[in-house]
Structure 1
């Protein structure tokens, strides 16, 4: 049995076709519809559940697609206008043009031809509106991004000077480039790192310097690309587990970072999360103030206590110097 994940683009296309298909076949058997659409009955039922909460902006009861499922039969009772041809207003057309132009400039996109075809169609339909003075630029460090992309396309190994924020250190390493990609709004170089002897993701804005080597890029057979569908950081049981007690002002941590457990004991929550490095956790948590209290592990608590003691000593030093200064100075 295949366990491959259905691409989101395939599902979107199927959902867009599903409403007019079902409108033309009221009361159709779900198994018959699934066979026509080339999916399993389970997948079609999942599509129907998703479709049931889709509709027009406002998303009130009268705006959503509605249907009746009677045993193994399904009938669309409200199509929310999806039976009509799509007509974009000027703002919607311009938003699509800008979004597609952004995608076309994104490194690592494997469907660039399809994006450019869709962009051409929308620009043609939008007419003069598509020529509006809108410039699409990717996030900062464009020059470095273009330089790294050109080096990767040359097929050579690279020597990097790279800043690792988790350990707050800069290192030199030789890498065998594999691909460029964008995840979570950041551009990355994915490469086999000879220093770590593993596949690594290098954020472009953290590459301080690089040089193209004469030797070709030659990732070994064990250089497997990362699965970044869920983001770059994939916490596992091998990483340190940190326990926090957070107040109302620190609850954003549970939304911004992957957490393992949240116990909502008002007014404070008990939060457990995996971190790549205790050094990173120390720097991050000491800046959170009273809204976050570290419960464990003991090593992290000791690090933070030592850092706090050092900071207090620095505050005390100027006072001692002032006390020893001659009068009148």
Structure 2
């Protein structure tokens, strides 16, 4: 579900109790309270008018009397009833909240702990029996993650110190935050990078420092509603490419590196392309993976990997002989 749709769903779910608590309020006043436009309020009310409980007959649908001057809910269709959780539902919700606490920047830890305490108090011993070991320990939010989350909430630009794994470099850059996303068990800041002039994903555990700027975030309009930037494995075509042969037992690399042009081999292995910015980083990676990966091209990378592997073997041989190696390794 896109951020736009999920945001509207949350707003729609809150409109019935809101208007029930504020009978006769105008669309303009409600828009100010809810941070949207009067037109959006009227569009939401027209949507709510055909929503309700399963059955969807006249007696099941939410009923409203509304105009731009006055909005009154005449039938809530149960939307004002307190939510009652079964022990299983409470346990699932508690597990989900605790999982979110482990993801930096996704939620405010104090708010999550407060929600957990309330659910546990309401669910009683049934939910407490399913508390995993160590879950009662409070999670302290990383200061960098807190700074990024606060800037996103306040709509402020950020100055980041960021480590790029593919380039093996640390860079300084100013970004305009768009949102925080969770992809494959990692938290990312999606933002417009002013130096790259494009949308980029910044993994939270690779942000070394974050400073909120005084200016508001102003990502281009085209960057706000395009989810194609959430694709992690879209390699930069301007970077050099290494063609690799990956052994059958090493195909897990497909889940951890931005490999493209994958061709499955008869033995269960594969050939794939990995783009890189730093030849030294690429050579270190290939040598570190040992026999699991063979570099096929480009020729200069093949030569670099062979030289690094030979130097490592010389170092081991010198260590066994008790003499210093020529490479100093």
The bucket for the TM-score relative to the shorter chain is 0.5 to 0.7
**2:200 aligned residue:** 200
Q: Does residue 184 of the first structure (1) align with residue 184 of the second (2)?
A: yes
CA distance in 2, matches of 1:274, 1:262: 13
Partner SS state of residue 96, structure 2: helix
Provide the TM-score with structure 2 as the length reference.
0.54
| Offset of residue 163 of structure 1 | 1.0
Matches within 5 A, 1:102-113: 102=99
Q: Is the 8 A contact 2:240 2:276 kept in 1?
A: yes
Sort the Cα spacing of 1:229 and 1:138 in 2 relative to 1 into closer, same or farther, 3 A.
farther
**1:283 aligned residue:** 284
| Offset of residue 304 of structure 1 | 1.6
Q: Is the 8 A contact 1:278 1:300 kept in 2?
A: no
RMSD value, Cα: 4.6
Structure 1: which 5+ runs fail to align?
9-86, 110-114, 324-329
CA distance in 1, matches of 2:311, 2:286: 16
Q: Is the 8 A contact 1:157 1:213 kept in 2?
A: yes
CA distance in 2, matches of 1:234, 1:179: 19
Count of matched residue pairs: 236
CA distance in 2, matches of 1:198, 1:136: 41
Partner SS state of residue 200, structure 1: strand
| Offset of residue 171 of structure 1 | 1.2
CA distance in 2, matches of 1:309, 1:100: 50
Q: Tell me the alpha carbon deviations over residues 242-270 of structure 1, each in whole angstroms, 9 at most, x when there is no partner.
A: 3333334323334555443333233x734
Sort the Cα spacing of 1:185 and 1:260 in 2 relative to 1 into closer, same or farther, 3 A.
same
Q: Does residue 164 of the first structure (1) align with residue 164 of the second (2)?
A: yes
Sort the Cα spacing of 1:138 and 1:219 in 2 relative to 1 into closer, same or farther, 3 A.
farther
Q: Is the 8 A contact 2:176 2:192 kept in 1?
A: yes
Partner SS state of residue 286, structure 1: helix
| Offset of residue 175 of structure 1 | 1.6
| Offset of residue 91 of structure 1 | 6.8
Structure 2: which 5+ runs fail to align?
7-84
| Offset of residue 224 of structure 1 | 4.6
Q: Does residue 298 of the first structure (1) align with residue 299 of the second (2)?
A: yes
Q: Is the 8 A contact 1:188 1:203 kept in 2?
A: yes
**1:308 aligned residue:** 309
Sort the Cα spacing of 1:159 and 1:229 in 2 relative to 1 into closer, same or farther, 3 A.
closer
**1:227 aligned residue:** 227
CA distance in 2, matches of 1:138, 1:198: 37
Decide which of 72, 96, 99 is 2:96's aligned counterpart: 99
Provide the TM-score with structure 1 as the length reference.
0.54
| Offset of residue 140 of structure 1 | 9.0
Sort the Cα spacing of 1:160 and 1:122 in 2 relative to 1 into closer, same or farther, 3 A.
closer
Q: Is the 8 A contact 1:159 1:213 kept in 2?
A: yes
| Offset of residue 93 of structure 1 | 5.6
CA distance in 1, matches of 2:98, 2:322: 61
